[in-house]
Copies of this chain bind each other. A is one copy, B any other.
Amino acid sequence: MVNASGRRRVGVAVVGLGGAVATTAVAGVELMRRGANSMSGLPLADVAVPGLAGYEDLVFGGWDVNGQSLAAAAAEHHVLNDNQLADTEDALSRVTPWKAVASSAFCRRVGGSNMREMRGHRAAIDAIISDIQQFKVANDLDDVVMINLASTERTPVEGEALRTADGFQRALDQDDPDIGPAMLYAAAAIEAGVAYGNFTPSVAADIPGLTELAERRGVPVAGKDGKTGQTLLKTVLAPALRARALHVDGWFSTNILGNRDGQALEDPDSLKSKLGTKGNVLDSILGYKVEDHLVDIRYYRPRGDDKEAWDNIDVSGFLGHRMQIKVNFLCKDSVLAAPLVLEIARVLDLARQRGEGGPQEQLSLFFKAPMTAGRRAPEHAFHRQERMLSDWLEGNAGR
């Protein structure tokens, strides 16, 4: 389970390695190595379970349409402060993203030149697998996990390719344009036996053709769309409103954000994907349909990577009397997301060691739209998700 040095080394192959979340995660691990990062923001920092890799045992590589080094990328994202940039510059300047498989048809707003020429879907998958193999060998890794952090793709057409396992295979053969890059990366991971986590709203391992394949091959998959800000609070507050029998008459959520992620969402098709993963949470927790549940996301440059959510919740209580709760979250998207990425990678690696393939429901805590086995309805309530994960970690700790 571990390499010669006595410690497990786990590779994290990131799709979108140059982005704000990924560079923050990589820098964070580097700062931990240097003793300059507290454990703040790391939900599983105190968990001691055999087999769970240490944060410092994670080795990063990955793809990005922008070929600049992570040091240059991090400087552009304005997430790290000046000291943190300086302390990690050496380490980050040594990491340069591999050429990415991308498609402007799936994500219009964000482009780059560090792209692999596409000669068909199968060739793309082979190239991705080859990148992973090289990564593993070059870094003497015990295993590799793939995490998708790329910009949100548009929702694909709901054709044969997405609906059945066979349809997906045929669509691969025919270079079906309904298959987007996120699906190709996920397919490559599953084929290579590499656990896969999808931190974005893009359609990927959650199509039947890939979920079934992952189950058959025993490859852990998890997703999708990291639960960081507004939806996090929604899944914390809604269970309490239900427990107090306060009826939600309406819930208005608006978001302003100014990073690359926000820019991608200016494409109405990408926005639709995002709103899709945000939408069902509330009704699922409350047990009834909230007719007036509105979610807005606006690209607003003054904020950069700082993201702000404003929620207005209209509830009615005893005797039908009306009340309001307003929540204003001034958060930092990448600061919230990066540690979750580290935890997802560690848990996926542990699941792989434990031989558990297919959707990893115990990771629901970290996702807006958790993948489940057998397509059953996901658990959205935060505290119940928390218990699912701790049960999974503990229940298996004794093996």
Give A69 to B75 CA distance when docked, in angstroms: 32
Say if the beta carbon of A105 comes within 8 Å of chain B.
no
- Which of B245, B336, B383 meets A41, CB within 8 Å? B245
- Which of B41, B83, B328, B332 meets A325, CB within 8 Å? B328
- Which of B28, B80, B236 meets A236, CB within 8 Å? B236
Give A308 to B250 CA distance when docked, in angstroms: 13
- Which of B37, B239, B326 meets A328, CB within 8 Å? B326
Residue of B nearest to A86 (CB): B82
Interface residues of A in 9-47 (CB under 8 A from B): 24, 27-28, 31, 37-43, 45
Number of interface residues of A (CB under 8 A): 72
CB of A384 to closest CB in B, whole Å: 8
Q: CB-CB < 8 A to A79: which residues of B?
A: 321
Interface residues of A in 333-352 (CB under 8 A from B): 335-336, 338-339
Residue of B nearest to A25 (CB): B318
Given known contacts A310-B312, A318-B28, A383-B239, A246 and B41 CB-to-CB distance under 8 angstroms: yes
Give A245 to B342 CA distance when docked, in angstroms: 13
Residue of B nearest to A316 (CB): B40
**Are A320 and B38 in contact, with the CB atoms below 8 A?**
yes
Give A243 to B364 CA distance when docked, in angstroms: 13
- Which of B303, B323, B332 meets A321, CB within 8 Å? B332
Given known contacts A301-B292, A310-B312, A41 and B327 CB-to-CB distance under 8 angstroms: no
Given known contacts A41-B245, A254-B296, A298-B252, A314 and B323 CB-to-CB distance under 8 angstroms: no
Candidate in A245, A249, A336 with the most chain B CB atoms within 10 angstroms: A245
**Are A319 and B84 in contact, with the CB atoms below 8 A?**
yes
Say if the beta carbon of A158 comes within 8 Å of chain B.
no
**Are A330 and B320 in contact, with the CB atoms below 8 A?**
no
Would you list 11 pairs from A and B whose C-beta atoms are within 8 A, ordered by A residue?
A24-B319, A27-B319, A41-B317, A41-B318, A82-B82, A240-B382, A250-B302, A292-B300, A302-B314, A317-B335, A324-B328
Given contacts A41-B246, A292-B302, A324-B329, 20 further A-B contacts (CB under 8 A): A28-B318, A40-B246, A40-B316, A81-B321, A233-B237, A233-B325, A236-B240, A243-B382, A250-B302, A250-B303, A252-B300, A254-B296, A256-B294, A317-B336, A317-B339, A319-B335, A323-B331, A325-B327, A326-B329, A326-B330
